[in-house]
Amino acid sequence: MSLRLLRLLPSLLLASVGLLSTISGAQAEVSQVMVAVEGMTCPFCSFGVAKRLKKVTGVEDIHVDTDLGLATVTAAAGESIDLPQVPEAVKSAGFTPGVVRIIAIGTLQMEEGQIYLRLRNQEQILRLSDSSSIASERLLSLMQENADVEVTGTWNAAGTDKLSELKLEAVKIL
């Protein structure tokens, strides 16, 4: 991971804490995506990235910060951002996507000893990964309540079209 990305992570964490308190359960399944954009150095670069991100399904608002090398995409009310399209849009703008952090809403379920987040009204599921036994106990407890939850974490695109992994950072019940 580059030094620039390591410096960026605390800012991302602080931003997500504030965002978690403002997102309601009535919003999208993938309500926000924050992607590091490597190689973006000027306003023209950020314009090109924003132009490509506007074409991603479900997007309403885009904020690109050239200094931080970060693009934040927010879903339209009642919509869901098509997660795999975000890094593809960054690539099509001529840049390399870095760390992808998301805020997603869904229900927890367990299959074959793994905990998953099933995105509301979608076929896509995210395998949740966390090494903490306390987090796993909390997830199991929330799963038994069968309530919608909002999850924040780092997305790993490796997997199939319908299954990918989310390294869990925060979870709250809606």
DSSP 76: P
Lowest mean pLDDT among 71-80, 137-146, 157-166: 157-166
Specify the 3-state DSSP secondary structure of 104.
strand
Q: pLDDT (tens digit, 9 = 90+) per residue, 145-158?
A: 888 899 999 997 66
Quick one: 167 and 96 in the same domain? no
38 and 77 in a common domain? yes
For residues 48 and 80, membership in a common domain is answered with yes
Helix, coil or strand: residue 70: strand
Cα 88 to chain centroid, rounded? 14
pTM above 0.85, yes or no: no
Give all strands (DSSP E) within 18-173, no chain letters. 30-38, 59-65, 70-75, 96-111, 114-119, 125-129, 149-156, 163-173
Identify the domain containing residue 35 by its residue range.
Answer: 3-102
Rounded CA separation 11/44 (Å): 23
What is the domain count for the chain? 2
Q: What is the CATH number of the domain that holds 162?
A: 2.40.50
Q: Give the end-to-end CA distance of the chain in Å, rounded to a whole number.
A: 33
Concatenate the DSSP letters of all residues of 110-133 into one string.
EETTEEEEEETTSS-EEEEE---H
pLDDT at residue 153 in the model: 92
118 or 162: which carries more pLDDT confidence?
118
pLDDT in tens, 13-71: 444 433 433 333 333 589 999 999 999 999 999 999 999 999 999 999 999 999 999 99
Task: Answer for the pair 142, 171: CB distance below 8 angstroms, yes or no.
Answer: yes
Tell me the pLDDT tens digit for each residue of 87-109.
999 999 999 999 999 999 998 98
Q: Same domain for 83 and 25?
A: yes
Which CATH number covers residue 36? 3.30.70.100
Phi, psi of 117, deg, nearest 5: -105, 115
What distance in Å separates the CA atoms of residue 30 and residue 68, rounded to the nearest whole number? 23
Between the ranges 82-86, 89-93, 141-145, where is the mean pLDDT highest? 89-93
| C-alpha 103, offset from chain centre | 5
Phi, psi of 62 (to 5 degrees): -135, 135
98 shares its domain with 110 = no
Say yes or no: 40 and 95 in one domain: yes
- Residue where a domain stops, chosen among 60, 84, 102: 102
Integer-rounded Cα Rg, in Å, for the chain is 16
pLDDT for 158: 61
Residue 2 pLDDT > 70: no
Range with the poorest average pLDDT among 76-90, 115-129, 159-173: 159-173
Who wins on pLDDT, 2 or 147? 147
Instruction: Among 102, 129, 146, give the residue marking a domain's end.
Output: 102
